[in-house]
Structure 1
Amino acid sequence: MLSRSKSKAFCEAKSLIKTDYSRTKLETKIVHLGFGAFHRAHQAVYTDLANQEADPSWGIFGINLFRKGPLTQSFSEQDNLAVLIEKGAQETTKRLVRSFTGAMNIDDKGVQAALDKLCEPQVAIVSLTVTEKGYCLTPEGRINGNNELILEDLKHPEAPRSAIGIICEALRLRKTLALPAFTVMSCDNIPENGRKTKTAVVEYAELIDPELASWIAQEVTFPSTMVDRIVPAMSDASFAQIEQETGLSDAFGLISETFKQWVIEDQFCSGRPNWHLSGAMMVDDVLPYEEMKLRMLNGSHSFLAYVGGLCGHDYIYQCMQDSLLKDITLALMINEQAPSLSSQLDVDLKQYAELLIARFSNQSIKHQTAQIAMDGSQKLPPRVIDSILTLVSKPSYDASQAPQTLLLLLAAWMHFIQGKHTADFQLIDPEATTLKALLAVDNDKKCASLLQFKAVFSDAFMAHQDLVQQITHFYYAIDQQGIRAVLDGFVTSTRSPK
């Protein structure tokens, strides 16, 4: 009775925009690994809107790999419906997302229940938002045979825990059962995420069964995607806001910005929803869009996370209220990140940068700098290091043209991970143990010690001594003068946006 009454309240809420296709036609055709906030506010919305336009059978079943607790039960009690409030600077949309068929936690239900779901004959797509570390790759982009999850999965491949191991075991079972392969679609902010996912899955399979690896390489498609929508972590205040604005209590409810974008390589071995009818771009090559977003948006986010965090700003919108940070961020995008892009898009990059500044300035979106700062060892190479190496490889480059703002970002990260800017700092990074060991030296040796961290400072980067010297200069300037003094002097030498 609880399920029916709560579901009825959601369906009858007059404050919510909702699709009206019959959910009795929904089938679990998509299984999503990493059933977090971003997926529910992005891909699930596109799928819901696509179901409205044509073929309303594409349902999503969410699987959490490592989360425990009663949340998925509460989701079931509200008939797998979720409230999403989309907040712009001037407008707000309150939406009911209806594309889910259910959800589970592996730690509650067991990995066999997850494998059973993945082996349902109608499943056509397995999508992922498991963050960079969930792919268990080395910095060079190969399967990491020393990764703890991979080592455990190789001991018991029939009972895996990593996303890669689960996908491989499900594909092995489908092959054995003579079921068609499914598409594996990464929706994480990783450059060439489809290619890297394929590398992880196929190389892991080779360690278990070369014949399976060959079958996967032939039968499974791995489209790359570019996803974009700011979805902050929820807080008690956020949940209270949803209840106040809609009259509904929803432990799965979310608040996002109004903007959303999805670019997808159209390579699906077993079909897909009509995402193109809900605003997604289906393309042959997603890399140019992916690179633009990773460097200009995510790279700027990292700058604001570390530099803004050191300045005492808790949220991105507060960074935009700091006129100095706002000006430097715009200059970073136009003068350093935009010229680093390797492919030409039919996009006005100055206009794109200004759109990003407007999005960052949205006070309705409480995007924490600390949230963006997590997992820097995984995020900095594609967002920052790749940009720098592209710029310095240009034939016209000389040391006077060093990308100062990107180098300042790296120096700020080196300070940020020491936690001196806040009393309750916790270093959240898959390489936290290594980083803490590198920091366990005298203060005057910390900079040189961190520059030995190859996950960020690769051999290719360290070969440019002018870059190393500039980072070292910024590091000690922050150490001795503080970040605000460095910024005050820095803006005078930053080229203004053209």
Structure 2
Amino acid sequence: MQQLNKQTLSALPASVAHNVSSTTAQIGIVHLGPGAFHRAHQAVFTDNAMEFGGNWGICAVSMRSTGVRDELAEQDNLYTLAVIDENPSYQVISAIKEVLVLGEQRQQVMSRLTAATTHIVSLTITEKGYCLDGQGLLDSSNSDVQHDLANPTEPRSAIGLLAAALKIRWQRGIEQLTIISCDNLADNGAKLGKAVMAFAKQTDSELATWISTNVCFPNTMVDSITPASNDELRARVAQAIHLQDNWPIQREAFTQWVIEDHFSGPRPAWDRVGVTFTQDVSGYEKAKLRLLNGSHSTLAYLGLRCGKETVNEAISHPSLFNLIKKMLQEEVKVSFTPPPELVVDNYIDAILKRYANQHIRHLLSQIAWDGSQKLPFRLLGSIQDNLAQGNSIALLSVGVAAWLHFLVNAAKTNFKIVDPLADKLISEAAYCSGNLADDVQRLLAIRQVFPESLANNQTFVNALTDAYLSLSELDATNIEQVIDGLL
């Protein structure tokens, strides 16, 4: 079988989508961190947007690894996106024009970053790549930051690299650049901008001033599940596109990209291919945290207690489905004010449909990781706001109670949980004696999770204790009886 590359594109069957407009486009975007999520998300939106014009080809820059560059080179940087759903679809993406490795091709990287034709720099470098401290500000003690301050022309961090490129653009009078963080980090653009300006200020205060007045760092929110590629995917793709693609990627059908409408230069026609431009990214973040992530955690802890393994298995049980849907509609939906562009009922329907996708194997055990860090944002915020408004918290409390049972069961069975507070959580859970009210009070005293104002709120204590008591009998044999009794 022939390999996917520019010469074999003509062999693609009509059922495989391919945007011809993107094949001849020149580079206008530099992206730092070309992992699978970028290739399944931002690169696809950009590929589709080029149907409406513009030179928005992507120069992808790997900060260290040579893998993506070497893998895609043999395919002229082409690859296949497989959308995994009841009716799978396939699209060959040609938005990425080249892949550079900073450590080996520094000069080429800087040339792309400082080119007058480059108007967008985007990033998916994970939270660690931003070199931030616990307050979300630049960590000057970070070893990469210290290296870059001492060696400003040979940076190895993304922050140092951006500052170096912006200095050259400033000196040459090259403006109209927008820098877009696409990582799952609250206020990601604002934090990135502050970090870059803080770094620049330590080298040249005038540069920092120029950045603050000429370069925009819009906040964003991204969402789409992107499972790892494997040989099974390669075989399915080969059968679908009639060519051998060694580096295909896959994702679920649902995909979301919300960008603050705050640019300092031109941009692709992303809004014409599904991207939402808004003045209220934080509203979308809250919707995702409370509706999607909150129900995810609730389903994970309840599903594990019921003997389920994956999200699809858990949501496929009618009682668990009904509880999650009712919680979303009656308690989470009323806990916050959504941005005007978001139709919450449609978003809830999309969440439930995503959970039911049997082709995505999303483990409940993985979602259950780091509960102490997740629950304050995913569930407790909704509970606090509902208490202030006089709304019900009964079903929201079920998710918290299920987490408490998860901890107690882990302590009893010596199960090692994944959580930065694991030692503290298991130590407290090990003292739970079976007196349910006392158990709840002991676990509510963990101040790293439950603020004193919430732990002492009698309405919450009562709701949590009732839910904890009900779930104490829950197992794989009586799901309907216990869960239906909570509805």
Which AA in structure 2 matches 1:124? Answer: H
Matched position secondary structure for 1:103:
strand
Give 1:302's aligned residue: 297
Question: Is 1:225 matched with 2:225?
Answer: no
Give 2:77's aligned residue: 80
Offset of residue 217 of structure 1: 1.7
Q: Is the 8 A contact 1:243 1:249 kept in 2?
A: yes
- Cα gap change, 1:412/1:441 in structure 2, threshold over 3 Å: closer, same or farther? closer
Matched position secondary structure for 2:267:
coil
Work out which of the residue numbers 60, 64, 71 in structure 1 matches 2:62.
64
Please say which of residues 35-44 and 258-267 is displaced more in the overlay: 258-267
Q: TM-score, normalised by structure 2?
A: 0.81
Offset of residue 146 of structure 1: 5.6
Offset of residue 177 of structure 1: 4.1
Give 1:174's aligned residue: 169
Offset of residue 84 of structure 1: 0.9
Please say which of residues 158-167 and 409-418 is displaced more in the overlay: 409-418
CA–CA separation in structure 1 for the residues paired with 2:406 and 2:203: 39
Give 2:20's aligned residue: 20
- Cα gap change, 1:313/1:23 in structure 2, threshold over 3 Å: closer, same or farther? same
Work out which of the residue numbers 85, 96, 108 in structure 1 matches 2:92.
96
Offset of residue 493 of structure 1: 5.4
CA–CA separation in structure 2 for the residues paired with 1:453 and 1:182: 44
- Cα gap change, 1:148/1:481 in structure 2, threshold over 3 Å: closer, same or farther? farther
Give 2:435's aligned residue: none
Work out which of the residue numbers 307, 318, 322 in structure 1 matches 2:313.
318
Q: Map residues 436-447 of structure 1 onto 2, 5 A cutoff.
A: 436-438=422-424, 441=427, 444=430
Please say which of residues 261-270 and 469-478 is displaced more in the overlay: 469-478
Please say which of residues 334-343 and 480-489 is displaced more in the overlay: 480-489
Which AA in structure 1 matches 2:95? Answer: S
Q: Is the 8 A contact 2:410 2:426 kept in 1?
A: no
Which AA in structure 2 matches 1:70? Answer: G
Matched position secondary structure for 1:226:
strand
Give 1:491's aligned residue: 483
- Cα gap change, 1:105/1:403 in structure 2, threshold over 3 Å: closer, same or farther? same
Q: CA deviation digits over 1:365-423, x for unaligned, max 9?
A: 333445545666665554334333333333x369x75831342365367579989698x
Matched position secondary structure for 2:72:
helix
Give 1:42's aligned residue: 41
Q: Map residues 285-434 of structure 1 onto 2, 5 A cutoff.
A: 285-309=280-304, 311-343=306-338, 345=340, 348-369=343-364, 372=367, 379-394=374-389, 396=390, 403-408=396-401, 410-411=403-404, 414=407, 427=418, 434=420
CA–CA separation in structure 2 for the residues paired with 1:94 and 1:22: 16
Aligned residues with identical type, % of pairs: 32
CA–CA separation in structure 1 for the residues paired with 2:305 and 2:143: 33
| Equivalent residue pairs, number | 477
Matched position secondary structure for 2:24:
helix
Offset of residue 95 of structure 1: 0.7
Matched position secondary structure for 2:125:
coil
Matched position secondary structure for 2:30:
strand
Offset of residue 297 of structure 1: 1.8
Matched position secondary structure for 1:21:
helix
In structure 1, stretches of 5+ residues that fail to align are none
Which AA in structure 1 matches 2:51? Answer: Q
Which AA in structure 2 matches 1:50? Answer: A
Question: Is 1:252 matched with 2:251?
Answer: no
CA–CA separation in structure 2 for the residues paired with 1:292 and 1:174: 37
Q: TM-score, normalised by structure 1?
A: 0.79
- Cα gap change, 1:135/1:70 in structure 2, threshold over 3 Å: closer, same or farther? closer
CA–CA separation in structure 2 for the residues paired with 1:378 and 1:308: 20
Give 2:50's aligned residue: 51
Q: Is the 8 A contact 2:428 2:443 kept in 1?
A: no
Q: Is the 8 A contact 2:474 2:482 kept in 1?
A: no
Matched position secondary structure for 2:421:
helix
- Cα gap change, 1:62/1:300 in structure 2, threshold over 3 Å: closer, same or farther? farther
In structure 2, stretches of 5+ residues that fail to align are 433-438
Offset of residue 320 of structure 1: 1.9
- Cα gap change, 1:194/1:46 in structure 2, threshold over 3 Å: closer, same or farther? same
